[in-house]
């Protein structure tokens, strides 16, 4: 098990997810060395007790475990394998935990390079969005060696409520992409059902009460339906990031000859929303595409406009 008194934890990538995750590690008593291309979150974390690093390489030089939380595969490759990257400063036996959501193919390739340098790697993407990152209740899906997972489990539990090893290198990313398929299809189904109900003169709020206790009930509905009805699309998880995740799903599916017809359809809806300038909205704004087709808005009864 990791010893809080002896381990230095590096964190690269302090964005909407990485910053609150880092704060939870500090609260749990870990000594943190942090780096981001944006100095503002670095300054904030240094104010909470973290140590500043000038590059990903310096983070690795000073850390026993290095966590990366970055937007996509190319960013992970740059931060880990590129100039002044983690690999240049990685000590023998050090562990890299990539918590970004990237292609399983890229995850396996990066893991191979880390192992060549004498390190170990876990891919550990998360689900739960910004609220889960802030509250420390993320679901974390982990790929990598079981012994390495066991060593890092207390660290991961400081950031997540559910931590599950699902297989070897890349398996965590496969699980995350599967999660994103389910989430995307669930969110897309909500406005179809709500618009259908609203145009047939059934109050969506009453509809939720009627169906939430049956098979239609879901975390997606409990979380996203109020946002849709309140017209609150402030991002917890941005549309453009879900676009990225599904973009990583489809090449993997092609490699294994897996047909994903509904996932492909939702990706086209998301592409249309991004093209319409809505990529920075929460992914509950998939609702806007369906509403536009139906020429109606899903609002609470007192506010509804059709």
Active site residues: 176
Task: Give the β-pairing of 95-98 and 65-68.
Answer: parallel
Phi then psi dihedrals of residue 179, to 5 deg: -60, -45
Spatial distance between the Cα atoms of 47 and 61, rounded to a whole number of angstroms = 22
Q: Please check whether residue 162 is in contact with residue 139, taking contact to mean a CB–CB distance below 8 angstroms.
A: yes
Contacts 24+ apart (CB under 8 A), 269-276: 269/188, 270/184, 270/239, 270/242, 270/243, 270/246, 271/243, 273/239, 274/239, 274/240, 274/243
């Amino acid at each position: 098990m990791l010893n809080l008194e002896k381990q230095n934890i590096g964190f690269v990538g302090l964005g909407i997810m990485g910053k609150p995750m880092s704060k939870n590690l500090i609260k749990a008593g870990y000594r943190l060395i942090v780096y981001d291309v944006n100095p503002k979150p670095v300054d904030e974390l240094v104010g909470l007790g973290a140590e500043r690093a000038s590059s990903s390489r310096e983070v690795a030089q000073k850390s026993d475990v290095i966590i990366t939380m970055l937007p996509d595969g190319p960013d992970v490759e740059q931060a880990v394998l590129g100039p002044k990257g983690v690999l240049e400063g990685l000590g023998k036996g050090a562990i890299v935990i990539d918590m970004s959501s990237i292609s399983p193919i890229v995850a396996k390739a990066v893991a191979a390079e880390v192992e060549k340098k004498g390190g170990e790697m876990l891919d550990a993407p998360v689900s739960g969005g910004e609220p889960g990152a802030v509250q420390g209740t993320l679901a974390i899906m982990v790929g990598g060696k079981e012994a390495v997972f066991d060593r890092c489990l207390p660290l991961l539990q400081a950031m997540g409520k559910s931590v599950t090893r699902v297989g070897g290198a890349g398996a965590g990313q496969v699980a995350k992409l599967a999660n994103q398929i389910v989430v995307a299809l669930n969110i897309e189904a909500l406005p179809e059902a709500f618009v259908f109900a609203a145009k047939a003169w059934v109050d969506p709020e009453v509809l939720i009460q009627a169906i939430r206790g049956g098979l239609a009930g879901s975390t997606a509905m409990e979380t996203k339906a109020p946002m849709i009805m309140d017209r609150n699309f402030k991002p917890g998880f941005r549309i453009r990031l879900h676009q990225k995740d599904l973009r990583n799903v489809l090449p993997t599916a092609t490699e294994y000859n897996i047909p994903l017809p509904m996932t492909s359809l939702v990706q086209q809806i998301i592409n249309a929303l991004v093209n319409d300038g809505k990529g920075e909205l929460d992914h509950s704004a998939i609702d806007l595409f369906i509403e536009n087709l139906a020429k109606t808005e899903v609002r609470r009864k007192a506010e509804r406009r059709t």
